[in-house]
């Protein structure tokens, strides 16, 4: 699958909440080590690259500072914070725990009609993967999980999961055909588990995507060299 050809500048121009979109862009850059820990995020350069004014970039950096993703170096600007293996583990562990709780509530409530709806979303994901359209893959995956989590009728819990997944670099996965195959297969088996009332499989298939996601991101970050010199004995489990 080839990555989407839509540039960050083009995507940002299409959306109204610029500071949130800039924050999302920078968050993904940091989580994939496109910007390494210790590097400065220059407001003027970022604004020019994204085709926006400095104001939404400044607001985005304030948001990221509140999240601990960047630090303010007095008289020098914003610098990217450290990103450890444990940070990656913790992010996916948290997402997985919340997702399992939602999935079990979905298992208690799901109807035959809702199962068909999830199958339709999974078919859209399959088509996007086959087309090699990263934007559509990301959208289809999001829509599948939004429909899935809605069934659980646990709005606050779903909101916490959505907040946690902000740190998941969705485009890294959406342009990875192997990840797409795992996601699609996991969805298929999850749907079958709902149809058969198999709660153990519901848990297994829900955890599967988060375990896979953590492993893929860890391998990617290892390849960027940000952890060179550290012990490699600590890996996501």
**Residue 56: which CATH number?**
1.10.10.10
Is residue 131 one of the residues assigned to a domain?
Answer: yes
Give yes or no for a contact between 15 and 135, defined as CB atoms under 8 angstroms apart: no
Residue at which a domain ends, from 39, 63, 80: 80
Residues 95 and 114 both lie in one domain: yes
How many structural domains is the chain composed of? 2
What pLDDT does 8 receive?
62
- How confident is the model over 150-202, as pLDDT tens digits? 999 999 999 999 999 999 999 999 999 999 999 999 999 999 999 999 999 99
DSSP H helices, 68-133, are: 85-109, 112-131
- From edge to edge, which strands make up the β-sheet containing 70-73? 40-41, 77-80, 70-73
Lowest mean per-residue pLDDT among 15-19, 36-40, 44-48, 54-58: 15-19
Can you give the pTM of this predicted structure? 0.86
Name, of 17-21, 94-98, 131-135, the range with top average pLDDT. Answer: 94-98
Residue at which a domain ends, from 80, 96, 111: 80
Residues 68 and 133 both lie in one domain: no
CATH number of the domain encompassing residue 114: 1.20.120.530
Query: Domain limits at 33?
Result: 8-80
Residue 237 Cα distances to 85, 163, 228, 234, angstroms: 11, 22, 20, 9
Strand partners, 80: 70
Residue at which a domain ends, from 48, 80, 112: 80
Is residue 76 one of the residues assigned to a domain?
Answer: yes
Buried b (16+ CB within 10 A) or exposed e, 130-158: eeebbbbbbbbbbebbeebbebbebeebb
What pLDDT does 233 receive?
44
How far apart, in whole angstroms, are the C-alpha atoms of residue 108 and residue 197? 9
Residues 89 and 48 both lie in one domain: no
How far apart, in whole angstroms, are the C-alpha atoms of residue 199 and residue 208? 14
How far apart, in whole angstroms, are the C-alpha atoms of residue 47 and residue 173? 26
Give yes or no for a contact between 22 and 50, defined as CB atoms under 8 angstroms apart: yes
Residues 161 and 134 both lie in one domain: yes
Give yes or no for a contact between 3 and 169, defined as CB atoms under 8 angstroms apart: no
SS3 80: strand
Residues 40 and 103 both lie in one domain: no
């Amino acid at each position: 699958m080839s990555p989407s050809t839509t540039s960050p500048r083009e995507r940002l121009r299409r959306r109204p909440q610029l500071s949130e979109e800039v924050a999302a862009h920078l968050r993904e850059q940091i989580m994939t080590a496109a910007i390494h820990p210790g590097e400065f995020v220059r407001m003027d350069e970022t604004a020019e690259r994204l085709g926006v004014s400095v104001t939404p970039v400044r607001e985005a950096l304030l948001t990221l500072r509140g999240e601990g993703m960047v630090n303010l170096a007095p008289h020098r600007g914003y610098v990217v914070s450290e990103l450890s293996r444990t940070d990656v583990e913790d992010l996916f562990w948290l997402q997985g725990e919340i997702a399992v709780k939602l999935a079990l509530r979905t298992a208690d409530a799901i109807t035959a009609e809702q199962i068909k709806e999830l199958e339709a979303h999974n078919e859209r994901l399959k088509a996007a993967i086959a087309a090699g359209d990263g934007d559509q893959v990301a959208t289809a995956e999001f829509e599948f999980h939004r429909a899935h989590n809605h069934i659980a009728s646990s709005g606050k819990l779903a909101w916490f999961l959505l907040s946690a997944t902000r740190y998941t670099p969705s485009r890294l996965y959406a342009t990875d055909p192997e990840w797409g195959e795992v996601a699609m297969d996991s969805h298929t088996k999850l749907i079958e588990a709902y149809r058969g009332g198999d709660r153990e499989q519901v848990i297994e298939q829900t955890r599967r995507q988060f375990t896979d996601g953590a492993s893929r991101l860890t391998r990617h970050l290892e390849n960027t060299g940000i952890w060179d010199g550290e012990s490699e004995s600590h890996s996501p489990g």
